[in-house]
Amino acid sequence: MFKGSLVALITPMRADGSLDEKACANFVDWQIKHGTHGVVPVGTTGESPTLSHAEHRRVVEIAIEVAKGRVPVIAGAGSNSTAEAIELTRHARQAGADAALVVTPYYNKPTQEGMFLHFSAIADAVDIPIIIYNIPPRSVIDMSVETMARLAKHPNIIGVKDATANLARPLHTRAACGEAFCQLSGEDHTALAFNAAGGVGCISVTGNVAPALCSAMQTAWAEGRLAEAMAIQNRLLPLHDALFSETSPGPVKYAASLLGHGADHCRLPLAPVAEATRARVRAAMTSAGLLN
């Protein structure tokens, strides 16, 4: 069900920082019309740490309402509080999401056993497919392959968004969790290499502004047109570099604003991106053929 180019959606806002529901809806529709294979609202790229719970729920609902079953919706539902993660995951199911993306608990620094108990509690409480989001650079902790293999035995835990950028990891995960365990890259630079090591797609930041290219790259890879996929990868490389030249989602929200998808505003503590970053993003967008 979950494969190809899935996009970790930005949350479009107005210049004053308020949620722009119309822009959110238009953005989801634009993504689908440009070939995105699935949308992932309110992850880190969607500024989930600074959205209120009401805003979080509303963004998930908008994505589901607009998608109308055309593509899967994987709702961000993570928290460093297990009870809160259960509440957000329960809402995702009630709203009609196809799956929930649940990040490893940040700040608390749980042990491997703590992570096992956290995800088990969520999976026991809510009957929805759950994708583990393992992102050590933001969460500080790294779920081990052994812990993931234990969790993969739960019928509701069906895959991982792997943002480790460790290309040996999907090999070991496939060996430990089985080929049916859905492995999605969470790192744009290594998306194709991740597929070669056992992945089936990428939950992408770059896809916010280059949905057609990211989709075409993943489709070409899946259909065995490797040279075409690699050519698109090379075309996107400067854009990947630019979009991660400052803390995401600052650069990608600026890039999206250049295409008319909301303001470039990120909520504090993320600062407006520097002018040098803006120039780099504009140049990369132009080089990729996304701006005139």
The span from the CA of 134 to the CA of 121, in Å, is 17
The active-site residue, picked from 68, 106, 109, 161, is 161
Q: Which residues of 96-133 are buried (b: 16+ CB within 10 A; e: fewer)?
A: ebbbbbbbbbbeeebeeebbbebbbebbebbebbbbbb
Say which amino acid occupies 232. Answer: I
Q: Where are the alpha helices (DSSP H) in the chain?
A: 21-33, 53-67, 82-95, 112-125, 136-139, 145-151, 169-177, 191-196, 211-222, 226-243, 250-258, 275-287
How, if at all, do strands 130-134 and 157-162 pair? parallel
133 given a catalytic annotation = yes
**Nearest in space to 213 (alpha carbons), one of 246, 249, 238, 248:** 238
Residue 6 sits at φ, ψ, to 5 deg, of: -105, 140
* 97: CB partners within 8 A, 6+ apart: 60, 64, 73, 74, 75, 128
Q: Of 3, 106, 109, 133, which one is the catalytic site residue? A: 133
Q: Which two tokens stand for residue 56?
A: 């979080």
Q: Is 161 a catalytic residue?
A: yes
Radius of gyration of the chain (CA): 18
Edge-to-edge strands of the sheet including 74-76? 38-40, 4-8, 201-204, 182-185, 157-162, 130-134, 99-103, 74-76
Find the distance separating the first CA and the last CA of the chain, reported in whole Å. Answer: 36
Comparing C-alpha atoms, which of 116, 200, 102 is closest to residue 153?
116
* Catalytic center residues: 133, 161
